[in-house]
Chain A
Amino acid sequence: MSKPSSALRVASALFVLALVGCTAPAPATPGPATPGPATPGPATPGPATPAGEAIVVGASLSLTGIFGATGIIHDIAGKQFVEQLNDEGGLLDRPVEWMVLDDESAAAGVADLYERLITQEEVDLLMGPYATPLILAALSVAERNGMVLPHHTSVHRPFMNYECQFPGWSIGPTPNEFVPNQLYDALESLPEPPQTIAFVTNETGSTGYVVHGQPDVDEPAALSIAEDRGMEVVADIRYTPSAEHTWDAVAAELASVEPDFVFMSTLGVDSLNLLNAMEQIGYRPPLAFSLFPAPGPLLGAGEVAEGHLSVSMFEPNEPILERMGPEVRAIVEEFESRAQAAGLPYTAFETQATGSWTAWEILAEGVRGAGSLDHEAICDYLLANGAETTFHGHLTFDPADGNYWPTTQGIKQIQDGDWVMVWPADSAAAPLVGPSN
């Protein structure tokens, strides 16, 4: 039987007392971002702020854990939206508060958190979490409780069947066809379109879906479409989410088949790791594309990632900002200063933040249109009338398509160390650049 020394014992006893303090409930020590319903929120009442009881929007976000890198973008964008909303008079003449709980990137806890938000905290409205598995967990709860759920980023159409869920990011109802066709169209516009293509696929969620379709369904997807369009598929490499140990092997295999184009259906920093691994063995593919990469790290990679392609809903490129007007520019600049203050290394307002903004606009419009907080009314209003958004114009929702509105997604490319919209050509900020050789 071990016996702690007396100093340790005293320290420990103090801790138990601290535990008592810590277990004290929220109202005793309101955090800056998640006030109890009764206390005034961080949306500091400005002169224009409406009075009355606040409308509380509840959400969980991955503020820690593997999705934390992106979760924080939605946190910042959401807070910015809510403040702006309150400055403009709130909703239904009431101020709006956002209550965020940290789901620690664990889908298992998300259902509990949303159940808590709905039945314990009695929030009025919901906003979705980040990342497909977590959104799906929240979706089940929202559906059971008959609540509207706008969400930022799930593009996995086959699983999204609840008619009152509204995506803030759409690649249309068939991302498995839309993404590759758009990409291949862009590639074919080059003077020398690629003849051979290699796939590197993260075998999970939407990245697997876009390349291979659903495992038990025979449907076209990036790989089969490439074949149909006459490209030769020289490699089909599938990896799992925790694959730090395999990049050397993947790089060597790619270097040995020398594809004209590499389709990386990847998440996070996988593409960067793969590009580095290829660079080390002296191989650089002429042109490569990443599906859902973390945008910042690729820019920090310098020359290695120059010319790299990805999908985008919005990039704050000067010609685009020019075209979209001062309102958008203000949003983008405000976000950048907030992201900087939060200490983010990469602060641009791009696809993720746009998805967030759009989801919030859908929610706000639904409430305004319904004129109440009745979820059935909000849902019906949105299905009937769609929503007006800053970045994608007027959206329409059709439950038959999982409410995936006609997409405005394009292709972006790293040019001179920055992401630039290059496709579709008519709305691009710069032309697509082919391999330099």
Chain B
Amino acid sequence: MNLQLLLQVAVSGALAGGLFALMAMGLSLTWGMLRVINLAHFVMILLGAYLAYELSTAASIDPLLTLIVTVPVMFGAGAAIQWLFQASRISEFNSLLVSFGILIVVVQLITNYWTADFRQLEANLNPYVRQSLRLGELVLPLHHLLGFGFATGISVGGYLILERTVIGRALRAFAQDPAIAAAFGIDHNRLALLLAGAAGGTAAVAGTLWAIGNPLTPAQGFEWIGVVFAIVIIGGIGNVLGTLVAGALVLALYSVVSLVWSPSVAPLVVFSAIVVTLVLRPQGLFSRRGS
């Protein structure tokens, strides 16, 4: 096996992992900090992708520019779902079910509006999908670099906000012990809406990047679930930096196994590795404390 080839495949796999990490980040944050498992996150990504496609095509603009619209929209959607959860004082697992209902509904509405047929950004509006940067012998595909760049920026930014700011500390305090945090006068509901909104914003970014790299079809909303959940848990629930690394690792492993063995056994190897990881480190690879 050619070492150069192996390195190439591992690196582009790791870069491709950025987008999946980005998909996982919002889910991980709301699960870790707010104790809700929001399956509707996947449909926010999907809707973000379709909106990017629609706006970019209608206005003939670069798809990245549509983020100006989609991020606020998905911020609102994320906050609205969180409001629903709070208003009903929902339990962790019932949040899974309610958001599953929302997932079904919105995927169907997307199908009704955009049809189940494939949609893709026109080639002339989308310079990203076929270009790349060269780093010596290494070729770095541009849309993977974009995904990894956004994922890195958002995860580092998120980490700094959670660690360094008052809001972040309040959120973490609440995640650890709601009762004590409330006693210190932290208005959790408003913070939670903010956090869920931010998670929705990351979904819009992930959706736009997905639309840049892939033709769209509504069923994709369900296809992401397995890999994204794996990344969330390996990274450590609520751990944004861990999520980024987990995304890169999982996708790099996918690519390397595909190359040296076969793509058809890649899921077998990757999910076996995930199981082994969980058995050895049940708290996730990158969590600082076990619980």
The segment from A147-155, A274-282, A366-374 found at the interface with B is: A274-282
In the complex, whether B214 has a CB less than 8 A from a CB of chain A is yes
* Interface presence of A25 (CB below 8 A): no
Within 8 Å CB of B141, what residues of A? 248, 277, 280-281
CA distance A7 to B86 in the complex (A): 13
A203-B264, A238-B264 known; A71+B116 contact, CB < 8 A? yes
Are B116 and A72 closer than 8 Å at their CB atoms?
yes
Q: Are A280 and B255 in contact (CB under 8 A)?
A: no
Which residues of the partner chain B approach A240 to less than 8 Å between Cβ atoms?
A: 263-264, 266-267
Q: Which residue of B lies closest to A201 (CB)?
A: B264
**Residue-by-residue, is B206-232 near A (CB-CB < 8 Å gives 1, otherwise 0)?**
000000011101110001000100000
Known: A268-B118, A296-B118, A300-B122. A249 touches B263 (CB 8 A): yes
The answer to whether B114 and A276 have CB atoms under 8 Å apart is no
Kindly state whether residue B189 has any CB partner on chain A within 8 Å. no
Known: A68-B218, A249-B259. Is A279-B130 also a contact (CB below 8 A)? yes
Q: How far does the Cβ of A266 sit from chain B's closest Cβ, in whole Å?
A: 12
Count of A interface residues, CB-CB < 8 Å: 55
Which residues of A (213-266) have their CB < 8 Å from a CB of B? 237-240, 242-246, 248-250, 252-253, 256
B-binding segment of A27-35, A77-85, A339-347:
A339-347
Q: Is B291 an interface residue (CB 8 A)?
A: no
B55 at the interface (CB under 8 A from A): no
Q: Which residues of B contact A437 (CB under 8 A)?
A: none
Interface set, chain A 1-46, CB cutoff 8 A to B: 2-5, 7-8
Query: A310 CB to closest chain B CB, in angstroms?
Result: 15
Q: Are A246 and B116 in contact (CB under 8 A)?
A: no
Least CB distance, A356 to chain B, in whole angstroms: 15
Residue B59 is within 8 A (CB to CB) of chain A in the complex: no
Q: Which A residues are in CB contact (< 8 Å) with B264? A: 203, 238-240
Establish whether residues A4 and B263, one from each chain, have CB atoms under 8 Å apart when the complex forms.
no
Known: A69-B217, A203-B264, A281-B8. Is A250-B123 also a contact (CB below 8 A)? Answer: no
The number of chain B residues with a CB under 8 A from chain A is: 57
Report the minimum CB–CB distance from B85 to chain A (whole Å): 10
**Nearest CB to that of B89 among chain A residues?**
A2
Give bound CA distance, A215 to B124, whole Å.
43
CA distance A246 to B259 in the complex (A): 9
Q: How far is the CB of B76 from chain A (nearest CB, A)?
A: 19
Rounded to whole Å, the gap between the CB of B24 and the closest CB of chain A is 14
User: Are A250's CB and B139's CB within 8 A?
Assistant: no
Q: Which residues of chain A are near B213, meaning CB under 8 Å?
A: 276
How far, in whole Å, are A342 and B91 apart by their CA atoms in the complex? 41
Q: B5 near A: Cβ within 8 Å? A: yes
Q: Counting CB contacts under 8 A, is B119 at the interface?
A: yes
Judged by a CB distance under 8 angstroms, whether B272 is at the interface is no
Do B227 and A245 touch (CB < 8 A)? yes
Residues from chain A with Cβ under 8 Å of B115 in the complex: 68-69, 72, 342-345
Give, as a whole number of angstroms, the nearest-CB distance from B230 to chain A: 11
Asked if B38 lies at the interface with its beta carbon under 8 angstroms from chain A, I say: no
Interface segment out of the listed A59-67, A133-141, A323-331: A59-67
**CA gap between A63 and B113 in the complex, in Å:** 13
- A5 with B88: CB separation less than 8 A: yes
CA distance A48 to B282 in the complex (A): 72
Which parts of A271-309 form the interface with B (CB within 8 Å)?
A: 272-273, 276-277, 279-282, 294, 296-297, 300-304
Looking across the interface, which residue of chain A has its beta carbon closest to that of B128?
A280
Whether A246 contacts B263 in the complex (CB less than 8 A), given A297-B215, A343-B114, comes out as yes
B202 vs chain A, min Cβ distance (A): 19
Interchain CB contact (< 8 A) of B263 among A68, A243, A282, A294: A243
State how many angstroms separate the Cβ of A305 from the closest Cβ of chain B. 10
User: Are A346 and B117 in contact, CB atoms less than 8 angstroms apart?
Assistant: yes
- Chain B residues with Cβ below 8 Å from A256 are 2, 5
Contact B87 A2 (CB under 8 A): no
Cβ of A424 to closest chain B Cβ, rounded Å: 29
B-side contacts of A342, CB under 8 Å:
115
A105 at the interface (CB under 8 A from B): yes
B5-A253 in contact (CB<8A): yes
Residues of chain A with a CB closer than 8 A to B129's CB: 276, 280
Cβ–Cβ contact B116 & A68, under 8 A? yes
* A107 at interface by CB-CB < 8 Å: no
Chain B residues numbered 136-189 whose CB sits less than 8 Å from any CB in chain A: 139, 141-144
Q: What is the distance, in angstroms, from A243's C-beta to the closest C-beta of chain B?
A: 5
Contact between A69 and B117, CB atoms less than 8 A apart: yes
Q: Is the CB of A245 within 8 A of B254?
A: yes
Q: How far is the CB of B245 from chain A (nearest CB, A)?
A: 17
* B263 closest partner in A (C-beta): A239
Interface residue? A433 (CB, 8 A): no
Within the complex, what minimum Cβ distance (angstroms) separates A388 from chain B? 31
Given contact pairs A240-B264, A246-B266, A342-B115, A68 touches B219 in the complex (Cβ within 8 A): yes
Q: Which of B9-17, B42-50, B65-73 contacts A (4 or more CB under 8 A)?
A: B9-17
Q: State whether B120 touches A300 (Cβ < 8 A).
A: yes
Whole-angstrom CA separation of A4 from B124 in the bound complex: 50
Closest to B226 in A: A242
List of 10 A-B pairs having minimum Cβ-Cβ separation, nearest first: A68-B116, A239-B263, A249-B258, A302-B123, A2-B89, A280-B141, A246-B263, A246-B258, A249-B255, A245-B254
Other than A63-B116, A252-B5, give 16 A-B pairs with Cβ distance below 8 A.
A2-B90, A5-B88, A8-B87, A62-B116, A64-B116, A69-B118, A245-B20, A245-B266, A249-B255, A253-B5, A280-B129, A280-B130, A294-B215, A300-B120, A344-B115, A345-B117
Residues of B bordering A, CB below 8 Å? 2, 5, 8-9, 12-13, 16, 20, 84, 87-91, 94, 107-108, 111, 113-120, 122-124, 129-132, 139, 141-144, 213-215, 217-219, 223, 227, 251, 254-256, 258-259, 262-264, 266-267
**What would 28 A/B residue contacts be, using CB atoms closer than 8 Å?**
A5-B87, A63-B111, A63-B116, A64-B108, A64-B111, A68-B111, A68-B117, A69-B115, A71-B116, A72-B117, A239-B264, A245-B20, A246-B258, A248-B9, A248-B16, A248-B141, A249-B9, A249-B256, A249-B263, A252-B5, A252-B8, A253-B5, A268-B118, A272-B215, A276-B129, A302-B123, A303-B123, A345-B115
